[in-house]
């Protein structure tokens, strides 16, 4: 099985794949961008894809929600990953020597407080955390550090100069498992993702949201997504957990009649959130 990810080996996307599927059960297709990932899945270059959609520190990745809808992908699973960011460089470097820090913009944002305490360091955005570590090793970059996972340091032979430098330790990213097919008949599914629009008038969204209480559906996410080319108009992405599939299906039928451009993006098993007891 080939799985497309954004980034390379030892990236957090790679770790999410290993957490969800297990080690040595798959082949990675490394993509430089999320649109590249989407094209790879659409063109059957990969069997599945794993895509980050939200982080507890940085919030939702809105363009990725847009890609899921644009490519009509089915969400068939999810996984939550604890994100620990580490500062790493070639062996023998000291923190005082580091003038440049390379990493994905989200990782730089998650470590902004640490970087502000190191005025000699200048952040440089790259397309992937692990690739930043690889480039330091392959190009023998002195006075340069990467922010990446502990596994990236191990694979690329870098020394960790500062551990767990993220702003908040309860730092988790949610990844979705995407397919061009659905898996709605699988056992154990208890969560759904939908996307819809409502009429641009007072109370329209409120009327829709009341249905979730009526059918005892527990919303875990509601996200407004700007509609390109239509200022001040939004689509809504909602994730919700349910107990009875029949009740869920009846609720979806009603939601279809009360909304516009309704899309069922997926029915799947809810992932375990690591910080929940």
Per-residue pLDDT reduced to its tens digit, 4-14: 999 989 999 99
Quick one: 220 and 113 in the same domain?
Answer: no
Report whether pLDDT(166) > 90. Answer: yes
- Rounded Cα distance, 47 and 41, in Å: 7
Residue 76 in any domain: the answer is yes
* 267, 177, 72, 199: CA torsion to nearest 10: 60
Residue 245 in any domain: the answer is yes
pLDDT mean across residues, the chain = 93
* Domain end among 152, 179, 206: 179
Quick one: 116 and 232 in the same domain?
Answer: no
- Rounded Cα distance, 39 and 166, in Å: 32
Quick one: 76 and 97 in the same domain?
Answer: no
Least confident interval from 44-58, 218-232, 260-274: 218-232
Strand ranges, E, within the chain: 2-6, 27-31, 48-55, 59-60, 74-82, 86-89, 100-103, 122-125, 144-148, 159-162, 172-179, 191-197, 218-226, 234-241, 260-268
* Residue of 151, 1, 172, 170 whose CA lies nearest to 76: 1
Average pLDDT over residues 162-188: 90
Q: Where are the alpha helices (DSSP H) in 111-203?
A: 112-116, 129-138, 150-156
Residue 52 in any domain: the answer is yes
Question: Coil, helix or strand for 121?
Answer: coil
Quick one: 139 and 109 in the same domain?
Answer: yes
- pLDDT for 16 equals 96
Residue 236 in any domain: the answer is yes
Residue 186 in any domain: the answer is no
Quick one: 58 and 98 in the same domain?
Answer: no
Average pLDDT over residues 68-84: 95
Owner of token pair 């209480």: 213
Quick one: 175 and 53 in the same domain?
Answer: yes
Which residue range is the domain that position 73 belongs to? Answer: 2-82+171-179
Quick one: 175 and 50 in the same domain?
Answer: yes
Residue 185 in any domain: the answer is no
User: Buried (b) or exposed (e) across 89-102, using 16+ Cβ within 10 A?
Assistant: bbeebeeeebebbb
- Cβ within 8 Å of residue 89, ≥6 positions away: 97, 98, 136, 144, 145, 146, 158, 159, 161
Residue 93 in any domain: the answer is yes
Residue 276 in any domain: the answer is no
Least confident interval from 160-164, 231-235, 272-276: 272-276
Average pLDDT over residues 220-229: 89
Q: Return the CATH number at 254.
A: 3.30.70.260
- Rounded Cα distance, 199 and 185, in Å: 32
* The total number of structural domains that make up the chain: 3
Quick one: 146 and 16 in the same domain?
Answer: no
Quick one: 41 and 175 in the same domain?
Answer: yes
Quick one: 45 and 175 in the same domain?
Answer: yes
What's the pTM value of the predicted model, to 2 decimals?
0.89
Q: CA dist 205 to 110, 151, 266, Å?
A: 33, 44, 21
* Domain end among 146, 179, 212: 179
Average pLDDT over residues 47-73: 92
Quick one: 124 and 155 in the same domain?
Answer: yes
Answer for the pair 240, 196: CB distance below 8 angstroms, yes or no.
no
Q: How confident is the model at residue 277 (pLDDT cuts 50, 70, 90)?
A: very low
Q: Return the CATH number at 97.
A: 3.40.190.10
* Domain end among 179, 207, 229: 179
- pLDDT for 185 equals 67
**Dihedral sign, CA of 200, 176, 4, 64?**
positive
Quick one: 148 and 217 in the same domain?
Answer: no
């Amino acid at each position: 099985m080939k799985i497309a990810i954004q980034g390379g080996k030892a990236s957090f996307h790679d770790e999410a794949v290993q957490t969800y599927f297990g080690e040595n059960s798959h082949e990675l297709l490394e993509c430089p961008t999320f649109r590249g990932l989407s094209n790879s899945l659409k063109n059957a270059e990969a069997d599945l894809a794993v895509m980050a959609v939200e982080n507890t520190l940085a919030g939702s990745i809105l363009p990725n929600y847009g890609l899921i809808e644009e490519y009509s992908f089915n969400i068939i699973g999810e996984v939550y990953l604890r994100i620990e960011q580490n500062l790493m460089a070639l062996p023998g470097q000291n923190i005082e020597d580091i003038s440049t820090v390379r990493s994905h913009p989200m990782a730089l944002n998650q470590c902004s407080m640490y970087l502000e305490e190191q005025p000699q360091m200048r952040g440089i955005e790259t397309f992937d955390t692990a690739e930043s570590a690889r480039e330091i090793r392959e190009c023998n970059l002195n006075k340069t550090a990467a922010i990446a996972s502990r596994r990236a340091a191990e694979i690329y032979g870098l020394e960790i100069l500062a551990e767990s430098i993220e702003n908040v330790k309860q730092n988790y990213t949610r990844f979705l498992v995407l397919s061009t097919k659905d898996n709605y008949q699988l056992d154990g599914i208890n969560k759904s993702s939908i996307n819809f629009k409502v009429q641009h008038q007072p109370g329209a969204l409120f009327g829709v949201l009341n249905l979730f209480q009526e059918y005892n559906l527990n919303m875990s996410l509601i996200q407004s997504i700007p509609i390109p080319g239509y200022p001040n108009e939004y689509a809504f992405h909602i994730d919700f957990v349910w107990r009875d599939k029949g009740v869920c299906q009846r609720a979806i039928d009603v939601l279809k009649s009360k909304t516009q451009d309704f899309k069922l993006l997926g029915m799947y098993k809810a992932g375990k959130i690591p910080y929940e007891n």
